[in-house]
């Protein structure tokens, strides 16, 4: 990320701690986001969308129901991310906003890079290349793809609101389109 974006996100984290949640820690949030990403991606892969109702917004869940039903099996398999297969995680955009009724929200976009052994074609259409990593020697080689996903987490900070983060955007480029 650019130095400006890094400073901007750090400033927003400071605002979150000062005005919304004095206990907020980006390290702790990132650990929880990785765990949520792993659980949600596996449930998507298994088509267990009814188990996502507490984790994912109703609007996103409706879109996912339509998209998942149309996915080929190999793309659906590629959605699943084991927590140990997450290679890199970074924060994207951080937003603090109020709606017309004065309700306070914080949104944090998390970007994940993970390894997956799904049987995807070597040439995936699209602008970005899907990276392949081969483990082992010639006799026992195992091919894995380095895939990306973007999940946006949102929490309401109005007094009396539940202290839960909800996933309000799920993107798996070239898989869930």
pLDDT tens-digit profile of 104-140? 999 999 999 999 888 877 655 443 445 555 666 666 5
CB atoms under 10 Å from CB of 170, counted, come to 23
Name the pTM for this structure.
0.87
Residues 6 or more apart whose CB falls under 8 angstroms from that of 31 comprise none
In a domain, 99, yes or no: yes
SS3 76: helix
Q: Is 140 inside a domain boundary?
A: yes
Q: Does residue 176 lie in a domain region?
A: no
Q: Cβ(33)–Cβ(89) under 8 Å?
A: yes
Task: Count the domains in the chain.
Answer: 1
The C-alpha atoms of residue 100 and residue 109 are separated, in whole angstroms, by 23
Torsion of CA 18, 22, 28, 33, to 10 degrees: -70
| Domain encompassing residue 19 | 3-171
Q: Is residue 177 part of a domain?
A: no
Distance CA 107, CA 96 (A): 7
Indicate whether 146 belongs to any domain: yes
Domain contains 137: yes
Residue 67, domain member (yes or no):
yes
Assess contact for 105 and 155: CB atoms under 8 A: yes
Strands (E) in 17-159, as ranges, are 86-98, 104-116, 131-135, 142-156
Q: For residue 10, is it within any domain?
A: yes
pLDDT tens-digit profile of 29-84? 999 999 999 999 999 999 999 999 999 999 999 999 999 989 999 899 999 999 99
């Amino acid at each position: 990320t650019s130095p400006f974006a890094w400073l901007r996100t750090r400033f927003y984290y400071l605002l979150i701690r000062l005005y919304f949640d004095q206990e907020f820690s980006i390290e702790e949030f990132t650990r929880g986001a990785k765990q949520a990403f792993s659980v949600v991606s596996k449930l998507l892969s298994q088509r267990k969308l009814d188990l996502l109702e507490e984790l994912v917004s109703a609007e996103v869940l409706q879109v996912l129901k339509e998209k998942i039903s149309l996915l080929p099996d190999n793309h659906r398999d590629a959605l699943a991310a084991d927590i140990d297969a997450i290679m890199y995680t970074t924060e994207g955009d951080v937003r603090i906003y109020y709606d017309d009724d004065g309700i306070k929200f914080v949104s944090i976009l998390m970007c994940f890079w993970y390894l997956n052994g799904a049987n995807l074609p070597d040439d995936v259409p699209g602008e970005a290349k899907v990276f392949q990593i081969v483990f082992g020697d010639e006799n026992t080689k195992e091919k894995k793809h380095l895939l990306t996903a973007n999940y946006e987490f949102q929490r309401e900070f109005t007094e009396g609101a539940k202290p839960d983060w909800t996933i309000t955007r799920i993107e798996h480029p070239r898989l869930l389109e």
